Chain A
Amino acid sequence: MVRWLSNWLSLTPQCEWVAYSMVGLFQAAILLALVMTAVAVATWAERKIAGRIQDRLGPTRVGGRFGWLQPVADGLKLLTKEDLIPANADSILFRLAPYLSFAPVFAVFLALPFSEGWVAHRLNSAAFFVLAVLGLEVFGIILAGYASGSKWALLGAMREAAQVVSYEVPLAFSAMLPIVLAGTLDLVAIGEAQKGWFWNWFVFHDPFTFIAFWIYVTCAVAGTNRAPFDLAEAESELVAGFHTEYSGFRWSVFYMGEYAAMAAVSGLGVVLFLGGWNGPVPLVDWLGLTSEAGAITGFFGQLLGSINFLFKCTIGVVFMIALRWTLPRLRIDQVMSMCWKYCFPLVTIVFLGATLWTLFLPDGLLNWGHPKAATREASVVVYSAEDPAR
C-alpha cells in the first residue's frame, strides 16, 4: 500500500515517510471510527440490557422506539459539562491520565486481524504485542488516581493496580494455550489454524482448552475492570474510585477506554479460542469466496469473515455486560484469592494438560482431520528447510 501510494503521488524515496504517515493515519482513522461506533453501541446496549435484567425498559425516548440515539445524547451532555480540575490535583498528570489509559487499548486494534488479511499491521509476535499493550492501560488509571489528589481516587487506583497486575499472569497463561497449539505468536496464523467447522476452534480442541477459555474470560473481565471485579470504581465504597474527580470529556475518555478494552479482549479471545473470522460452518469455502478465486469474490469472503468476527466480538461484549448486572461485586481479598489460589494453579495444570494432549493425541480423540496437526508439520518442515545462510 505504501508502494502504491508513493508511486501514485510520485514521491521520491527521500519523501517516502509522507506515504508511510498517510497510510498509517488512514488505517488509524478507520480503526478509530470502528472503535468509536463499537463504544457507542456498547453504551446503548449496556443501558438496555441493564434495564431488561432489572425488569425495567431502559432508554426508550431518545430517537424513536428503542432509544437508539441515547449514545448521541450522552455524548452531547458530556461535552457540555463543566471541565473541573481539583485544586489539589497535579494538573499536568491529571490531564494526561485519560489519554494514557485510552491510547494503549486503541493500539491493540492495530495488531488484531478482523478477517483473512484484514489487519492493520501483521506482526510476527502479535499475540505478545497485544498482551503487552493491554497491560499498559492500567498506568493511566493509576496516574488518574494519584494525580486527582483525592483519597477515594487513590484507593481505587491502588486496588486497580493490584488487581490488574495480578490478573495479567493467568490471562497471559491462558492465552498461551492457543499459541502452543498453533505453534506461532502470529494472530493471523492462529486464526488460519482454526479453519473449517466449529470443532476446529481451539475452545473445542480438548477439555483443557475449554477450561482455559473460561479462565481467559474470567481474567479478561477482571483485567478490563468490569463487574464483578470493578473494585477500582466500587460506587458503594469509593464514590467512583479512580475517576471520582473527573467530569465531562475527560471522564468520557476513561469510559471509552473501558468499552474499547472490552471489545479488545473479546477480539483477542475470539481470535485465540473462537476461530477468529472463521464461521461455525465453512460457508466461505462452499461458496468459493476464497482469495484464490479472484479479488472481488475474495473481498466478499473477507467481508463475511469480518462479519463473523464482529458478531462473535459482540456476543463477548454482551456477555460481559450481562455478567455485570447479574453478579454481585467481590471483596478485594476475594478478588486476590480468586486470581492466585484458583485461576493461576488451574491454568498451570491446564497448560501442562494441553501440551501433553497435543504431544500424544495430535489428531484429537476421534481423529477428526484437524488442520492444526498438518500446519505444525508444515512449519517444522519450513523451519528445517529454511535458508541456513541467514
Chain B
Amino acid sequence: MMGFDSMAIFFWLFAVVACAGALIVVVSRNIVRAAVGLIVSLFGVAMLFFLAGAEFLGAMQLMIYVGGTVVLLAFGVMLTTRALFLRMSTTADQWLVAILLVFPLTVILIRAALSYSPSHSGRSFIDHPADKSSAALVEPVTVSELGMALLGFRQNGRSSESTTLFHGNQGYLLPFELISVHLLVVLIGAAYLARRGVPETRASADSKSVSDQDIGSTD
C-alpha cells in the first residue's frame, strides 16, 4: 500500500461499519435485531462500492439486498412467528459446523487479498497515489458500458486497432441469460409451492392475489 490516503479514512470507516453489522448478525439472539445487523453490514458494503466509484453496483446492493431481501426476511419473520420476539438459541454443534465452514473460507479470502497486486486494479484510485486529482475523482464505469457488457460487448475488452474482442473479454451475455432462466425457474417454483396446498376449486380470487403478491415480491 502507498501509506496514508485520504480515501483510506472513509474506507476504514465503512469497513468497520460493515464488520460491526456482521458481528451483530452473528452474536444477536433476536432474529429481527440480526436482520438489522445484516442491513448495517450490507449498507457498509454498498458504501464501499460507492467509494470505489461503482455507483451502479452500490445502488444495486441497496435495492436488492437491503431493500428487497432483508425486507422480505423481516416480513417473513413477522408473518410466521407465534411469539412476539422470537429468540434463537445456537447449540454447540451448530457453532462447530459454522466454524468448520467459515475457517477455510477465511483462509482463502485472506490469501486472495494478500496475493492481490495493485497493477490489476484497473482504474481505481489506488493506481495513482501521486496524482491526487485522479485519486479524488474516480471516473466511474458508466451504466451504458455496463449494459453493453451484459449484452456481450465490453468496451474495455476491445483492442485499439481492430474491432475484434480479446479472448475472454467478450462480455457477459451467456451468464446474463442463464441467470434470467434461473430466476424464471425460481418464480415458477415459488408459484407452484404457494398454490400446492390450495384445492383446485378454491383457488380463486383471494388466494390468487396472495400468491401473485409473493411472486412479485421475490422479483
Contact = CB atoms under 8 A, between A and B. Distances in A.
Contacts of B219: 169
B30 A90 contact: yes
A224 to B, nearest CB: 15
A17 B159 CA distance: 37
A44 to B, nearest CB: 32
B6 A136 contact: no
Given A17-B10, A336-B209, A132 B132 contact: no
A31 interface: no
B67 A386 contact: no
A128 B59 contact: yes
Interface residues of B, number: 51
A315 interface: no
Nearest to A183: B144
Interface in A362-380: 379
Contact of A157 (B59, B78, B85, B156): B78
A15 B143 contact: no
A138 interface: yes
Given A135-B67, A165-B72, A337-B209, A125 B32 contact: no
B85 A90 contact: yes
Contacts of A340: 209, 212-213, 216
Counting chain B CB atoms within 10 Å of each CB, which of A124, A183, A336 scores highest?
A124
A8 interface: no
A8 to B, nearest CB: 16
A166 B39 contact: no
Interface stretch (A53-61, A142-150, A191-199): A142-150
A96 B32 CA distance: 12
Interface string A131-166: 111011011001101110100001001100110011
Contacts of A184: 143-144
A125 B143 contact: yes
A129 B32 contact: no
Contacts of B195: none
Nearest to A380: B144
A92 interface: yes
Interface in B67-109: 67-68, 70-72, 74-75, 77-79, 84-85
A16 B4 contact: no
A78 interface: no
B interface, by DSSP: helix, strand, loop or mixed? helix
Q: What secondary structure prevails in chain A residues at the interface with B?
A: helix
Interface in B19-61: 30, 32-33, 36, 39, 55-56, 58-60
Contacts of B63: 128, 131-132, 135
A93 interface: yes
Interface string B121-142: 0010000000011001000101
B71 A161 contact: yes
A166 B58 CA distance: 22
Contacts of A142: 71, 74-75, 78
B62 interface: yes
B217 interface: yes
Contacts of A13: 6, 132
A124 B143 contact: yes
A64 interface: no
Interface string A75-106: 00000000000001010110010000000000
B65 to A, nearest CB: 10
A128 B56 contact: yes
A333 interface: yes
A83 B79 CA distance: 29
Interface in A98-135: 123-125, 128-129, 131-133, 135
B155 A388 contact: yes
Contacts of A185: 143
Contacts of B142: 124
Given A124-B142, A166-B213, A93 B55 contact: no
A325 interface: no
Contacts of B132: 13, 16
A4 interface: no
Contact of B55 (A14, A90, A125, A389): A125
Nearest to A97: B36
A72 B133 CA distance: 45
Nearest to A129: B59
A138 B33 contact: no
6 tightest A-B CB contacts, nearest first: A132-B63, A16-B6, A135-B67, A17-B9, A129-B59, A132-B62
12 contacts: A2-B136, A3-B133, A20-B6, A124-B140, A128-B59, A128-B63, A129-B59, A139-B70, A142-B71, A169-B216, A340-B216, A386-B155
